[in-house]
């Protein structure tokens, strides 16, 4: 495993399609599977809806994200489809299968590694910078 770093290069960051503006509003039906089916980017991250001070986000991805952390907030992952690995600094890698979830605490250096195209729901506080602090 390469040495973790919390610095991402500009080239790494440009690989990600990250959309912070909610795609839906409350009282609006969200066809999440239809959205998953239309994604063509290798690393797609879209805020679905804001619920109070929390964002519900959809990730459709394959490949490796960079090492990062969120200093002031936890991050929650719920895998819908595929296989999702979360590498953690100084801990064993967590492997999620569909319908499994995991939460990374604030301040913990981590990186998602996704061996096959996968869809994951993430729950985070509004104002998060998806690429880390």
Domain boundaries, the chain: 10-125
Rounded distance between C-alpha atoms, residue 7 and residue 66, angstroms: 8
DSSP E strands: which ranges in the chain? 17-19, 43-51, 54-64, 75-81, 84-88, 94-96, 101-104, 110-125
Structure tokens at 130: 């998806």
Rounded distance between C-alpha atoms, residue 72 and residue 30, angstroms: 29
Residue pLDDT, tens place only, 18-49: 999 999 999 999 999 999 999 999 999 999 99
Residue pLDDT, tens place only, 80-132: 999 999 999 999 999 999 999 999 999 999 999 999 999 999 999 998 887 78
So what's the pLDDT on residue 1? 45
Rounded distance between C-alpha atoms, residue 38 and residue 40, angstroms: 6
Spell out the CATH class of 10-125. Answer: mainly beta
Element holding 35 (H helix, E strand): helix 32-38
Rounded distance between C-alpha atoms, residue 62 and residue 43, angstroms: 6
């Amino acid at each position: 495993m390469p040495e973790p770093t919390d610095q991402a290069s500009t080239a790494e960051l440009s690989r990600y399609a990250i959309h912070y503006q909610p795609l839906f509003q409350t009282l609006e039906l969200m066809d999440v599977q239809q959205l998953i089916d239309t994604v063509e980017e290798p690393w797609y991250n879209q805020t679905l809806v804001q619920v109070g001070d929390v964002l519900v986000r959809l990730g459709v991805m394959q490949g490796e994200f960079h090492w990062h952390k969120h200093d002031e907030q936890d991050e929650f992952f719920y895998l819908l489809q595929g296989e999702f690995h979360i590498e953690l600094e100084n801990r064993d890698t967590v492997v999620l299968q569909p319908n499994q979830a995991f939460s990374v605490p604030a301040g913990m250096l981590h990186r998602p590694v996704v061996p096959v195209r996968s869809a994951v729901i993430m729950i985070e506080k509004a104002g998060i910078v998806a690429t880390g602090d």
